[in-house]
Structure 1
Amino acid sequence: MKERGMKRILRDERGMALAVAIFALVVVGALVAGAFFAGTQEQRVGENQRRVQTSFGVAEAGVQERVMSWQPDSMNKRQEYPQDSVPIYSLAAAATAPGGTGRYFGYSYKLGSNIFLIDVTGRDQASANGVIAGGSGARQRIGMITRLAPVDFGIHASLTTQGGVNLTGNADVNGNDQNPAGWLNCDPSGPPQAGIRDPGANVGTSGNGSVQGNPPVVNDPSINNNSFTNFGGATYAQLAARATITLGPGTYKTNPNFGGPTGCDKTDLLNWGDGLNPASACGSYFPIIHITGDATLNGDQGQGILLVDGTLSVQGSYQFFGIAIMQNDLKTAGGGNTDAHFWGGVMAKNADLGTQSLSGKATLNYSSCSILTALQATSQISMMRQRGWVQLY
Structure 2
Amino acid sequence: MKRIPRNERGMALAVAIFALVVVGALVAGAFFAGTQEQRVGENQRRVQTSFGVAEAGAQERVLSWDATSMNKRPQYPADSVVIGPNATAPNGTGSYGGYSYKVGPNLFLIDMTGRDNASAAGAIAGGGGARQRIGMLTRIAPVDFGIHASLTTQGSVSISGNADVNGADQIPAGWTSCDPPGPPQAGVRDQGGNVTESGNGTVLGNPPVVNDPTINNNTFTTFGGATYAQMTARANLVIPAGNYSTAPVVTNGQCDRTVLTNWGDGENPTAPCGSYWPIIHATGTITLNNTQGQGILLVDGDLNIQGSYQFFGIVIIQGDLKTAGGGTTDAHFWGGVMAKNADLSTQSLSGKATLNFSSCSILTALQATSPISMMRSRGWAQLY
| 1:319 positional shift | 0.6
Partner AA of 2:262 in structure 1: N
Which one of the candidate residues 173, 180, 184 is aligned to 1:181?
173
Name the counterpart of 1:29: 24
Following superposition, the deviation at residue 133 of structure 1 comes to 10
% same residue? 76
Counterpart-to-counterpart distance in 2, 1:347 and 1:188: 24
- Correspondences of 1:47-196 after superposition (within 5 Å): 47-90=42-85, 94-130=86-122, 135-196=127-188
In structure 2, distance between residues paired with 1:262 and 1:359: 38
Cα gap change, 1:134/1:36 in structure 2, threshold over 3 Å: closer, same or farther? closer
**Superposition TM-score, scaled by structure 1 size:** 0.94
Map of 2:189 onto structure 1:
197
CA distance in 2, matches of 1:199, 1:278: 35
Structure 1, gaps ≥5 residues long: 1-5
Distance 2:220 2:69 in 1: 27
Q: Which residue of 2 aligns with 1:3?
A: none
CA distance in 1, matches of 2:17, 2:383: 55
Separation in 1, partners of 2:166, 2:126: 67
- Name 1:265's counterpart in structure 2: 256
Q: Residue 294 of structure 1 aligns with which residue?
A: 285
3-state SS of paired residue (1:163):
coil
Aligned pairs for 1:240-389 within 5 A? 240-259=232-251, 263-389=254-380
Shift of the 131–80 alpha-carbon distance from structure 1 to 2, 3 Å rule, reads farther
Structure 1 residue 45 and structure 2 residue 36: aligned? Answer: no
Which segment drifts farther, 196-205 or 110-119? Answer: 196-205
Whether the 8 Å CA contact 2:58–2:110 is kept in 1: the answer is yes
The 3-state SS of whatever aligns with 1:282 is helix
User: Can you list the C-alpha shifts for 1:207-231, whole angstroms capped at 9, x where unaligned?
Assistant: 1111100000011111111000000
Find the residue that maps to 2:272 and give its secondary structure.
coil
**Of 97-106 and 327-336, the range deviating more from structure 2:** 97-106
Aligned CA distance change for structure 1 residues 137 and 175 (closer, same or farther; 3 Å): same
Structure 1 position 95, deviation (Å): 1.2
Matched-pair contact (CA < 8 Å) for 2:118–2:124: no
**Paired residue secondary structure (1:310):** coil
Taking the aligned partners of 1:79 and 1:278, their CA distance within structure 2 comes to 14
Q: If the length of structure 2 is used for normalisation, what is the TM-score?
A: 0.97
Q: Evaluate the alpha carbon distance shift between residue 292 and residue 132 of structure 1 in structure 2; reply closer, same or farther with a 3 A threshold.
A: farther
Judged with a 3 Å threshold, the aligned counterparts in structure 2 of structure 1 residues 200 and 73 are, in CA distance, closer, same or farther, namely same
SS in 1 for 2:109: strand
- What are structure 2's unaligned runs of at least 5 residues? none
Root mean square deviation, CA, Å:
1.7
Please give the per-residue CA displacement for 1:87-145, whole angstroms capped at 9, x wherever unaligned.
Answer: 0123xxx1111222111110000000000000011111111111899822110010100
Question: What is the CA–CA distance in structure 1 between the aligned matches of 2:79 and 2:126, rounded to whole Å?
Answer: 30
Structure 1 match to 2:11: 16
For 1:306, the aligned partner's letter is L
Q: 1:335 to 1:265 in 2, by over 3 A?
A: same
AA paired with 2:68? D
Deviation at 1:20? 2.2
| Aligned-partner Cα distance in 2 for 1:358–1:381 | 37
1:123-170 residue CA offsets vs partner (Å, 9 max, x unmatched): 111111118998221100101000000100000000000011011111
Match of 2:225 in 1: 233
**Native 8 Å contact 2:112 2:134 kept in 1:** yes
Structure 1 segments (4+ residues) deviating >6 Å? 131-134
Does the residue aligned with 2:46 lie in a helix, a strand or coil? helix
Give the 3-state SS of the residue equivalent to 1:195 in structure 2.
Answer: strand
Q: Which amino acid aligns with 2:95?
A: R
Change in 2 beyond 3 A, CA 1:283/1:134: farther
Cα deviation, 1:266-294, whole Å, max 9, x if unaligned, reads: 00000001111111111111100000011
Hey, what does 2:208 align to over in structure 1?
Answer: 216
